[in-house]
Amino acid sequence: MQPGRDIGTLIEIMRRLRDPQTGCAWDVEQTFETIAPYTLEEAHEVAEAIARGDRHDICDELGDLLLQVVFHARMAEEEGAFAFPDVVEAITTKMIRRHPHVFGPEEARSPQMAKGAWARIKAEEKAEKAARRGETAAPAAASLLDDVPVAIPALMRAVKLQDKAGSVGFDWNDPKAVIAKIREELTELEAEIDGAGDRPAIEGELGDVLFALANLGRHLGIDPEGAVRVTNEKFRRRFSYIERRLADAGRQPKEASLAEMEALWQAAKSEA
């Protein structure tokens, strides 16, 4: 079999990999549940490639993510639930429906109007899904935040929760007010630490600090998940500098003092 640019080639590759008699033993034994972690991992690797600005890697990682879609669709097809063309039809239907100002008669004279139409149509789709499953309408006490996914990264979920609450006015109007909240949360965290608070209490206060920091990123228009990803790479690069400089002297980090490593860290900062 030869590589190709047509999606049908990838679908056929997956069909053969999943063949119980002639396929790959590892691929055959996979389920939706065992593949789900790989799907999340591939999505994160796409984000990392974007953060690096490496267009070649973005292409490569998008291919890996597409494979995950084809993998799930193949398993569903084997069950008789749906197939890849159904996935394509579902998303094209959804995108056309959610953009009536582009594909229909509705007008959106501003990004805010477009966002409003998107939210309204999503709510209609949610009600239709409930009806299709035979569920009754959501109770009046249902929260605005109920449809924020639980499985996404915690900082990303924090921003989505804050966005939802902000849509009805529960929000600060000034990033400096968020900074004041961060200081307040840090003071409460410090008090728990100084007071020998138990682990759950300290964990709760630390969570409050991180939640407030995510909110600051949202107010500044900065994705906190992406910001941490950049800092993680910066830390890795600077610590690698420490390791290299010590290795040049025939030493390892565990043989150096904190003061020595801090001096090398500062040198690494001047180079970066």
Tens-binned pLDDT, residue by residue, of the chain (272 aa): 888 899 999 999 999 999 999 999 999 999 999 999 899 889 989 988 998 889 999 999 999 999 999 999 999 999 999 999 999 999 999 999 888 888 877 676 667 667 677 777 777 777 777 777 776 555 545 788 888 888 788 998 999 999 999 988 999 989 999 999 999 999 999 999 998 768 899 999 999 999 999 999 999 999 998 899 889 989 999 999 999 999 999 999 999 999 999 999 999 998 85
Q: Which CATH architecture has domain 7-98?
A: Orthogonal Bundle (1.10)
Per-residue pLDDT at 129: 74
Give yes or no for a contact between 212 and 178, defined as CB atoms under 8 angstroms apart: yes
Phi, psi of 36, deg, nearest 5: -50, -45
Per-residue pLDDT at 109: 65
Nearest to 237 by CA among 269, 197, 190, 260: 269
The full DSSP string for 42-89 is: HHHHHHHHHHHT-HHHHHHHHHHHHHHHHHHHHHHHHHTS--HHHHHH
Per-residue pLDDT at 250: 95
Per-residue pLDDT at 51: 82
Nearest to 63 by CA among 42, 86, 91: 42
Q: Which CATH number fits domain 154-222: 3.40.50.2300, 3.40.50.300, 3.90.1150.10, 1.10.287.1080?
A: 1.10.287.1080
Cα R_g (the chain), whole angstroms: 25
Per-residue pLDDT at 185: 97
One-letter amino acid at 220 equals L
Per-residue pLDDT at 136: 59
Q: How far apart are CA 217 and CA 224, in angstroms?
A: 6
Q: How far apart are CA 72 and CA 75, in angstroms?
A: 5
Q: How far apart are CA 231 and CA 210, in angstroms?
A: 15
One-letter amino acid at 250 equals G
Per-residue pLDDT at 270: 87
Q: How far apart are CA 205 and CA 210, in angstroms?
A: 9
State the alpha helices, DSSP H only, in the chain.
Answer: 7-17, 25-29, 32-52, 55-79, 84-98, 100-103, 111-132, 154-166, 175-194, 199-220, 224-248, 258-271
Can you give the pTM of this predicted structure?
0.64
Q: What is the DSSP letter of 184?
A: H
Per-residue pLDDT at 139: 52
